[in-house]
Amino acid sequence: MSEKLSPWFERTEPSQFEVYAEKYKDIMLMTRKNGILEVRLHTDDGPLKFSWKAHSMWSQAWIDIGRDPENEVMILTGTGDRWLDANPEVWKKLFREWTQDDKLKMYHESLRLLENLIFCIDIPTIAAINGPGTHCEIGTLCDITLCTEDTDFFDPHFLGGTPPGDGMALTLQRTIGVKRAAYYAYTGKKLDGRTAMELGIVNEVLPREQLLSRAWELAEMMMERSRGARMLTHSILSRPWKEALVQDQGFHLTHQMYDMANDEEGPLARLMKLKARFQKTT
């Protein structure tokens, strides 16, 4: 439903769907129907493979999505039977050898990747995590999170020799509690979909073939309520995440990057030993 604004209260240069859908098409395929925006993560129409390009584009995409008043509910999902595949090769060059500006860009993009999702999108959000993979914190931060039984929530950082600072440990602390989060951060043990629901990380566990249709069912139910009810309810429900990010995310990330800047070995060799844990093998 289009906004009914008075002529004197026009918006100035809102995001144009056709423009940003094209801009981010290499990592996100976007479709919109009756105000519901579906954002599907992908690489070449398969599971998204992590890259610094994707890392950079995420934070920008949340801004453009949030600036478009035609987006009234957002569904975030992946492609195929994987949520997101890690790519240890991005760490081929030691972090300590990155330029100062490289490191600064990395710091700000890592913050904004999560902050812009929470602070720039003022509409209800639903994540449909469609299988195993890394960076499940992005889906966890959505208002409602659905997943498949084979989804796995885990933080590989400590196993890879670095402190867990990019958001997964934080979301675990705020959903399953500090003791459980500490255990899973140290051990890297996976939480499957059913366990994740029992511990409070996700809301529903569904067969993969039913996952997206259930997300749309919830989104359509939300659209039956007024724009104000939707936006202000989202504001209430996302406030704890805003507090968490402001209070702790910069602290977590700084600790991770400090250790990485002093790491003489680099994480690549350590992560390659764990490759089967977070990347599909054929």
The domain total for the chain is 1
> In the prediction, which pLDDT does 55 show?
92
This prediction's pTM: 0.93
CB 249 within 8 A of CB 111: yes
Q: What is the DSSP letter of 43?
A: B
Q: DSSP secondary structure string, 55-66?
A: HHHHHHHHHHHH
Q: Are 270 and 91 in contact (CB under 8 A)?
A: no
Q: What is the pLDDT of residue 277?
A: 62
Nearest residue to 140 via CA among 205, 202, 77: 202
Residue 281: the pLDDT is: 47
Chain-centroid distance of CA 74 in Å reads: 13
Query: In terms of residue numbers, what domain contains 116?
Result: 14-278
CATH of the domain at 159: 3.90.226.10
Residue 118 lies in a domain: yes
Residues 43 and 186: their CA atoms lie apart, in Å, by 30
- Please give the pLDDT value at position 58: 95
pLDDT in tens, the chain (282 residues): 677 888 888 777 778 999 999 999 999 999 999 999 999 999 999 999 999 999 999 999 999 999 999 999 999 999 999 999 988 888 888 888 999 999 999 999 999 999 999 999 999 999 999 999 999 999 999 999 999 999 999 998 898 889 999 999 999 999 999 999 999 999 999 999 999 999 999 999 999 999 999 999 999 999 999 999 999 999 999 999 999 999 999 999 999 999 999 988 777 777 777 666 655 544
- pLDDT for 9: 82
Q: Where do the DSSP E strands lie in 56-161?
A: 73-77, 84-85, 125-129, 144-147, 152-153
| CA quadruple 156, 158, 161, 164: dihedral sign | positive
57 in Cβ contact with 27 (< 8 Å): yes
In the chain, the amino acid numbered 128 is A
H/E stretch holding 228 = helix 227-244
Are 185 and 172 within 8 A, CB to CB? yes
Looking at the annotation, which residues are catalytic?
137
Residue 30 lies in a domain: yes
| Sign of the dihedral through C-alpha 87, 177, 129, 255 | negative
**CA dist., res. 219 & res. 25, Å (int):** 23
Residue 167 in any domain: the answer is yes
Spatial distance between the Cα atoms of 120 and 58, rounded to a whole number of angstroms: 12
140 domain-assigned: yes
- 162, part of any domain: yes
- Report if residue 22 sits inside a domain: yes
Residue 161 within any structural domain of the chain:
yes
Q: What's the pLDDT score for residue 10?
A: 76
Residue 72 near residue 1 (C-beta atoms within 8 A): yes
Name the burial class of residue 277, with classes exposed (0-12), middle (13-18) and buried (19+) by CB atoms within 10 angstroms of its CB: middle
pLDDT attached to residue 276: 62
